Structure 1
């Protein structure tokens, strides 16, 4: 394995600091996690990235950071810090966008984790160096990188079916495919050298993504963070419904002014009227 680069260490430190803040401050966690309605209805797009620096607990954080530590050195050393960052953040955003597409009609669905970005780095390394060895402190031998990658994907698939967390497991595969694709764009010669390993990973991963896009409900189980809904409303429906409710509130406030005068409004009603006036 290649020594971990400075950019990788900075990313690991940022993940630890951001996640710890989320562990100790629930409002901070709620304000930056991935949540479908917050992104699509309220257009809080920063969550596509910030959610990748939050984690559910220390186990989740440590698992991701060890995985990043094991694979980042080879990518950063070979491609350089700038191209390493490109793979990391494009994989993070790509994984978030796949989750957003799959759960676009599940407004309350939420997730956190650097898994999309980490998977992007893992599979970029596998595409470029399929035989790269992965060793653990408690094992006297290392295993080939592609084996570790397959196990990681299996863990992701299990996680999608699990009812124990709100980790963004769908982002694992989205990030993995994006990371592998970007690495091959940056180093196209790697495909002709490692095409067999790449296809072994790509074909089932793409097939699984097609499955969760075409039949997402078959892979979801009711849990604390996601509840199956009998009626799935589109984002347009939700937006229009919110707009109607907002207009109804303003009409009630105006009606109250007509009946009792401006002084009858509460502080909250005055604030709503002021926000409405600014929009107009």
Structure 2
């Protein structure tokens, strides 16, 4: 079983358990005062194992399933068998840190879901294959176009701040995915620029 499928399976099992167990949900989600006061640093990772509802879980896990399997060999080749796990866990932590720092004394704030880490996986894929087609609600879009639309939407919604979605985590996750990938394989940048300027090259 691949690392991607293990992450997916664990996330699904824990999410389903937490949806039926309020105490488990409260113990795992990101609640800044618990980290600030009680040093429960594990929440910077476990918040990504729980989701608000089935739709939230389904969207994240489908995205992880398709793009995680594509990206896992890339990180395994450069960081070893657990390379993708390292990348994914880093995405969870980095994508939520700005939110945590902003709300570290806000007892009313809570955040959950794997969206930040999943965004990291998605944007790392965009970096490697910008013209690959992504099907968004059955509409085919080049990965790079989807990435631009996703970023613009997240920035807009983050500024509005009128829903309960942590769009900031999406943006930081995407930035982390690109930065981490370039850090471990700098040649990815020249590959991306060439691919971007040669849409028909594959």
TM-score over 0.5 (shorter chain): yes
Is 1:134 paired with 2:129? no
Q: Is the 8 A contact 1:37 1:108 kept in 2?
A: no
In the alignment, which residue of structure 1 is the partner of 2:199?
none
- Give me the TM-score of the superposition, normalised by structure 2: 0.84
Alignment match of 1:43 (pick from 39, 55, 65): 39
| Unaligned ranges ≥5, structure 1 | 199-280
| Unaligned ranges ≥5, structure 2 | 197-202
In the alignment, which residue of structure 2 is the partner of 1:70?
66
* Aligned mates of 1:27, 1:124 — CA distance in 2: 35
* Aligned mates of 2:19, 2:58 — CA distance in 1: 14
Deviation sequence 1:48-95 (CA, Å, 0-9, x none): 000011100011111111111221122113332422222211111101
Q: Secondary structure at the match of 1:172?
A: helix
Q: Is the 8 A contact 2:36 2:105 kept in 1?
A: no
Q: Secondary structure at the match of 2:38?
A: coil
* Aligned mates of 2:175, 2:147 — CA distance in 1: 12
* Aligned mates of 1:62, 1:48 — CA distance in 2: 21
Q: Is the 8 A contact 2:92 2:173 kept in 1?
A: yes
Q: 1:104: how far off?
A: 3.0
Write out aligned runs for 1:112-261 (5 A). Answer: 112-135=112-135, 139=138, 142-157=140-155, 159-160=157-158, 161=160, 163-165=162-164, 167-195=165-193
Alignment match of 2:75 (pick from 76, 79, 85): 79
Higher RCO by CA contacts (8 Å cutoff, separation 6 or greater)? 2
Q: Is the 8 A contact 1:36 1:108 kept in 2?
A: no
Q: Secondary structure at the match of 1:143?
A: strand
* Aligned mates of 2:116, 2:57 — CA distance in 1: 13
Q: Secondary structure at the match of 2:51?
A: coil
Q: Secondary structure at the match of 1:41?
A: helix
Q: Secondary structure at the match of 1:56?
A: coil
Indicate how the Cα distance of structure 1 residues 32 and 170 shifts in structure 2: closer, same or farther if over 3 A, else same. same
In the alignment, which residue of structure 1 is the partner of 2:2?
6
Q: Secondary structure at the match of 1:142?
A: strand
Q: 1:193: how far off?
A: 2.7
Deviation sequence 1:233-257 (CA, Å, 0-9, x none): xxxxxxxxxxxxxxxxxxxxxxxxx
Deviation sequence 1:104-130 (CA, Å, 0-9, x none): 343321100101110111111112222
Indicate how the Cα distance of structure 1 residues 16 and 156 shifts in structure 2: closer, same or farther if over 3 A, else same. farther
* Aligned mates of 1:151, 1:13 — CA distance in 2: 29
* Aligned mates of 1:83, 1:132 — CA distance in 2: 23
* Aligned mates of 1:84, 1:170 — CA distance in 2: 23
* Aligned mates of 2:155, 2:194 — CA distance in 1: 22
